[in-house]
Amino acid sequence: MQGYLAGVSEGTRVLLILSVILFAGFIMTRLTNTLNLPKVSGYIMAGILIGPCGLNLIPVDIIGHMGFVSDLALAFIAFGVGKFFKKEVLLKTGSRIIIITLFEALLAGVLVTLFCVGVFRMEWNFALILGAIATATAPASTMMTINQYKAKGEFVNTLLQIVALDDVVCLLAFSIVAGIAGRTGEEEVTMSTLLMPVVYNILALGLGFFCGYFLSRLLIPARSKDNRLILAIAMLLGISGICASLDISPLLSCMIFGAAYINLTSDKKLYRQINNFTPPVMSIFFIVSGMNLDLTALTTVGAVGLAYFIVRIIGKYLGTYISCLITGTSREIRNYMGLALIPQAGVAIGLAFLGQRLLPEEMGKLLLTIILSSSVLYEMVGPVCAKMSLFLSGSITTEKMKEVAKEREAEIHEENLIAQENEEHGEDDGAWENEAPCESDGSCGEEENPAAEAEESADLICDNNSGKNHRGGKGRKNELLEQIKELEAGVEDQEEDYDIEREIQPEKEKNARKGKARKKKK
């Protein structure tokens, strides 16, 4: 394939390569889905397969010029993390969750750093960056297990809050460490070396807040969905570019950008729009990560990679255990929460790319290889550990597991029946029978939208009134449109903040039980 690509123009080469990358990711995730592995693992494996260590379909020079993809992916990730900084959630969370998160994240990072320096005699800049990355947790595997078994309870509520704040701690730690490590190559560490990263990150905070405020003023209600998405992405790209030109990590700035916007507007639609836009970008990002994985370096990684894998798990578990003792948290959370915090993927891989640029070439390759190889292992082990922690903590019971297994068997049985019917009546006919009928406007199989139906009713009423009293009809339409906005807001509130509602409900039940206990005493 490389011979064919050499004979075409640069633009054509890029288009064909992106097509191959996306197809490879799609095909490989079909395989990993059958093995119940996360998509991230499939993307990394696809990158290894088509990269220099596999079929060598993609030229090395093209891989080297795709660093901007990691910047773009990290900007989207950091912006999404920012939405967890809602002031209402932080006030309700209290200090307990913050203490647990800080302990489990930072203890893992400190242990990894000290182990690299003390045991393997590695450079401080390498050890600091690897330690900062060790603080990250990938919540996707844990969330998948929670949803699969419909787990509930205090343990689940605490877990959801911790994984939401975990990446925030990681981004803050990496932003500070990157500034220090980037200046400790051959220079002596001075007070200015330690203080300047703090100053730069304060500037990044200011930039992120200003952009969030500016975007909240730009995205007026009358702005179309397309323009909302265009403006938000333009701001994200602008922040990343400004930070890169000033040699500042864009992570913190993009995170504060997302936090400022959600607190100033409470607009959740924008985050959903960006989430719908990002899957191809994330797919390319993880596949390119896999292409950068040097399998020959795994032999040199050996002990360091294994130590990172084990020491990080120990740090997460011990940090959770100690902080739960300090805060007086229940025994179930203290004993089993650490098991649910093992997975690591998205943010860690993105930070490994940034860290690679700050280190000498050989050390940068070593860092990336450690994180990529361990991420695959974490994503394989993570769901099993998460399920174990939920079961041991009592969040899921044997009865619930049997119920889920029966539901799965029923789904498989139903799928088999549909397949048999399709074979009997013809595959095409069966496929059409399962689809919802198309409307006259060309929309097929769409879900009912009460807000949209209400808006159509408003237009109809106003059209009927327009012949008699134009002003009255217009006023009636405005009233109905206000009701529509309230309806849309209600639908969004039901769809969003599922984690927050699950967090608040146990507190209400707990307070109610306390009130009943007091009445009985009286």
pLDDT, tens only, 190-220? 666 667 767 777 888 899 999 999 999 998 8
What is the dihedral sign for C-alpha 25, 498, 97, 260?
positive
Predicted confidence at residue 348, as pLDDT, reads 85
Task: Look at residues 465, 50, 31 and name the one whose alpha carbon lies nearest to residue 288.
Answer: 50
- In angstroms, the CA 40 to CA 377 distance is 11
Q: Which is it for the CA torsion 322, 150, 397, 152, positive or negative?
A: positive
First to last CA, the chain: 82
Residue in the structure block whose two tokens are 């011990």: 318
Say which DSSP state 293 is in. Answer: -
pLDDT attached to residue 504: 45
CATH number for domain 68-399, candidates 2.40.50.500, 3.40.630.30, 1.10.1200.30, 1.20.1530.20: 1.20.1530.20
Q: Which residues contact 184 (CB under 8 A, 6 or more apart)?
A: 124, 125, 193
Dump pLDDT digits (tens) for 278-304.
888 888 888 887 887 777 767 777 788
pLDDT-derived band at 387, boundaries 50, 70, 90: confident
Whole-angstrom distance, CA of residue 352 vs CA of residue 370: 9
Cβ neighbour number for residue 84 with a 10 Å cutoff? 22
Query: Rounded CA gap, 449 and 487, in Å?
Result: 10
What is the rounded average pLDDT for all residues in the chain? Answer: 75
Q: What is the model's pLDDT at position 445?
A: 42
Range with top average pLDDT, 45-49, 107-111, 141-145: 107-111
* 17-to-267, 278, 286 alpha-carbon distances in Å: 37, 19, 15
Candidates 99, 162, 98, 97; CA nearest to 136 is: 162
Cβ neighbours, 10 Å, residue 476: 16
Tell me the domain boundaries of the chain: 2-61, 68-399, 451-521
- Going by C-beta distance under 8 Å and a sequence separation of 6 or more, which residues neighbour residue 89? 500, 503
Nearest to 182 by CA among 208, 200, 168: 200
Residues 6+ apart with CB under 8 A from 312: 108, 111, 112, 134, 344, 374
Q: What share of the chain is helix, strand, coil (3-state, %, to 5)?
A: 80, 0, 20
Confidence of residue 427 (pLDDT cuts 50, 70, 90): very low
Q: How far apart are CA 174 and CA 249, in angstroms?
A: 9
